[in-house]
Structure 1
């Protein structure tokens, strides 16, 4: 099998790229031929020594673009990416090649669609976010600070100022989404879609064409199993972007009400304001992965108060793996990892008093320790390892390839015998 991975970035700059690149390395280590097609460099130095062909266009993303107008045009329709991807796929053997798209919205644009369709190669898409169905990618209205339930591209959606920055940027994103839906026809192209949480699938299924096949593949979590730390539990911990949609102000307010110390790891637009309004809170800034996990192993609990859907918040799983119970908003996908009352608590989204009630409960050292042990034990019975991710991913690839082979031979995929081990 030859897998062509398509992503905006050729190096890890966030969760999407991390999953794409780590899976590329894992697949190559299993003897699968892998190529990576990306718009933005630099290239992760591990890829080419692992035998992975890398095509990187060395284009800009929004963080590096010198001309915002030129980048807006690229984000709406990246003609150079379409032509380069078409050339790359034209050289692939349709009998053994599959195209797996991880990301397009940060640089590649929907223009990849015509290139993939023209190649005739089987393809699938991992929905790390919601750009395939929502023009702003998050089903979140930033000025209203709440989940958006408007139908994408409806009159209500078009009129709504929901973008994090400005309505003109929303207009540009709607133009891109019109090209995505009606020119590139990406929802029709991706008959197979990988989702990373049950909530995500429930949100997108009604918006995708009938017959779309959904596959659940959890993202891998990079945590080393270690014994639980002895001693009294530490502080309540927040890890991530310190912003409104992540619920950071709700945590700070709830901690003050409960009389506990809030510890924030990360940075973001709300950091300075929260530090000024809550001098009792501790702002640690960013930490590397090892530093974050060390803090999680000492924490009384991770607090994950996100007020939007999320995809599959890896921070929640990392905390459970480290033996920290999790207090999570009931509106986000993170709730799927937490057994309410056993490995943590759910609280009513957006309600600081409901969160404060659980913070007070977990000031009981014995309860916090019991929940931490339960979280640790339950996670490690079925860890979200890279191997588990790759096993599931290879199964999906085989399903997609089997269907493509059957169509080439004029058979229904159900008429094809299943591969045997």
Structure 2
């Protein structure tokens, strides 16, 4: 097939781009003709080496823009991206072409959906976040530091300042969402959505158009099988990721204090100085590269994943389990789906430092850690989330979508009957 992957960044700057670029390389390796369409450079050099064509507009994102006013217009409706994508899709054969959108909210804007709808090609969207339904993309109130249960775009939603920075930025996001729905008409071009966790499906399912189809495709995890650990209880209890309030890093530090252990944090972010000031015994190691993160996870006796917001499929949880490291995870995020409570780690009630501390005390017993570690490693490698499995499932979904579009084109009027109801892929 001709596969066009649409994403904000042409390089790996986070989980979304990592999944998109690795799948591009993998699909090209399987003989598909792959093109990456992105707004923000630089371009990952592996793409050209693998024969992947790249269209990069060399536009800014919020972190690199030199003009906030100009970027505000780009964020609302990136006309250049719309025109360039429309040109890239024009004249393509719908019989063997598929458009796959991974990310648009950091630079591309809703305009890309207008180009996709106009092209009429088979298309899918991977919901790495919640921007299709929630204006701030996370169902999270950054002012209250709590999961938001308001109905998106309701009066209560629109009038509430839930943004990380300010209400004017929330108003911009509301305006962008109106453009997504009423100018880009995204469901006209995207009628199949890839989800990455059961929690995500439960959150967004009632909010999506009833004719939309959901397809579950797990993200790939790049971890070698190092075998069971020799001494699983010797390392520290660690956190890996961005040091921010919604990630629960302060909760972890407080629970560690209550449990009488030293918290070790790998990463950086806006809460770093607050953690240093309030918890002087905490060890902050800063950012590490992929090899450094893998080493920290392998050496740890346990990973704590205390996120207090929805997370679609936190890759760090799976990486830890693959390395034989048990995980203590908040029950509010999809990471819980990877952890068998009491067997490969523990769940704890989200936001409850005392409950988390109680789980951490259980990890003082070397025999408990050894049992959790062995089972974590065994269970993960029974069905590992490899790139090959990810690509197998992607090709299956691509085929389903392409065949249905072909049937609809051959039999006008069939589309509405074929999409009566939300159906899993």
Q: For the superposition of Structure 1 and Structure 2, which TM-score range results when normalised by the shorter chain?
A: over 0.9
Partner of 1:204: 204
Deviations 1:245-298 (A, max 9, x none): 000000000000000110000001001110111011100001111111111111
The separation in 2 between residues aligned to 1:149 and 1:303, in whole angstroms, is 25
The separation in 2 between residues aligned to 1:229 and 1:198, in whole angstroms, is 30
Partner of 2:214: 214
Map 1:183-194 onto structure 2 (within 5 A): 183-194=183-194
Map 1:104-123 onto structure 2 (within 5 A): 104-123=104-123
1:169 aligns with 2:169: yes
The separation in 2 between residues aligned to 1:357 and 1:255, in whole angstroms, is 10
The separation in 2 between residues aligned to 1:296 and 1:118, in whole angstroms, is 46
1:300 aligns with 2:313: no
Find the residue that maps to 2:247 and give its secondary structure. Answer: coil
The separation in 2 between residues aligned to 1:286 and 1:114, in whole angstroms, is 38
Partner of 1:61: 61
Partner of 1:382: 383
The separation in 2 between residues aligned to 1:105 and 1:408, in whole angstroms, is 31
Deviations 1:359-411 (A, max 9, x none): 00111011011101100100000000000000000000000000011111117
Question: How far apart are 1:187 and its partner, in Å?
Answer: 3.6
Find the residue that maps to 2:246 and give its secondary structure. Answer: coil
Partner of 1:8: 8
Confirm or deny: 8 A CA contact 1:3 1:98 kept in the other structure.
Answer: yes
Map 1:86-125 onto structure 2 (within 5 A): 86-125=86-125
Q: Which moves more between the two structures, 181-190 or 364-373?
A: 181-190
Find the residue that maps to 2:99 and give its secondary structure. Answer: strand
1:226 aligns with 2:230: no
Question: How far apart are 1:56 and its partner, in Å?
Answer: 0.6
Deviations 1:206-250 (A, max 9, x none): 111012110000000000001223224311100000111000000
Deviations 1:320-364 (A, max 9, x none): 001010000001111000000100000000000000000001110
1:158 aligns with 2:152: no
The separation in 2 between residues aligned to 1:163 and 1:118, in whole angstroms, is 32
Larger relative contact order (C-alpha < 8 A, sep ≥ 6)? 2
Partner of 1:52: 52
1:370 aligns with 2:371: yes
Question: How far apart are 1:182 and its partner, in Å?
Answer: 1.1
Question: How far apart are 1:14 and its partner, in Å?
Answer: 0.6
Normalised to the residue count of structure 2, the TM-score between the two structures is 0.96
Confirm or deny: 8 A CA contact 1:187 1:208 kept in the other structure.
Answer: no
The separation in 1 between residues aligned to 2:95 and 2:315, in whole angstroms, is 35
1:148 aligns with 2:151: no
Find the residue that maps to 2:245 and give its secondary structure. Answer: coil
Deviations 1:138-190 (A, max 9, x none): 00001101000001110000111100111110000100000001111214432
Confirm or deny: 8 A CA contact 2:117 2:188 kept in the other structure.
Answer: no
Partner of 2:343: 342
1:263 aligns with 2:264: yes
Find the residue that maps to 2:346 and give its secondary structure. Answer: strand
The separation in 2 between residues aligned to 1:388 and 1:124, in whole angstroms, is 18
Q: Which moves more between the two structures, 301-310 or 224-233?
A: 224-233
Partner of 2:283: 282
Confirm or deny: 8 A CA contact 1:325 1:344 kept in the other structure.
Answer: yes
Confirm or deny: 8 A CA contact 1:132 1:187 kept in the other structure.
Answer: no
Question: How far apart are 1:49 and its partner, in Å?
Answer: 2.0
Partner of 2:423: none
The separation in 2 between residues aligned to 1:344 and 1:229, in whole angstroms, is 15
Q: Note the aligned Cα RMSD (angstroms).
A: 1.2
Normalised to the residue count of structure 1, the TM-score between the two structures is 0.97
Gaps of 5+ in 2: 419-425
The separation in 2 between residues aligned to 1:205 and 1:249, in whole angstroms, is 31
Partner of 1:245: 246
Partner of 1:76: 76
Confirm or deny: 8 A CA contact 1:117 1:189 kept in the other structure.
Answer: yes
Corresponding residue pairs, total: 415
The separation in 1 between residues aligned to 2:216 and 2:34, in whole angstroms, is 22
| Alpha-carbon spacing, 1:49–1:91, altered in 2? closer, same or farther (3 Å) | farther
Q: Which moves more between the two structures, 404-413 or 91-100?
A: 404-413
Gaps of 5+ in 1: 416-421
The separation in 2 between residues aligned to 1:189 and 1:359, in whole angstroms, is 48
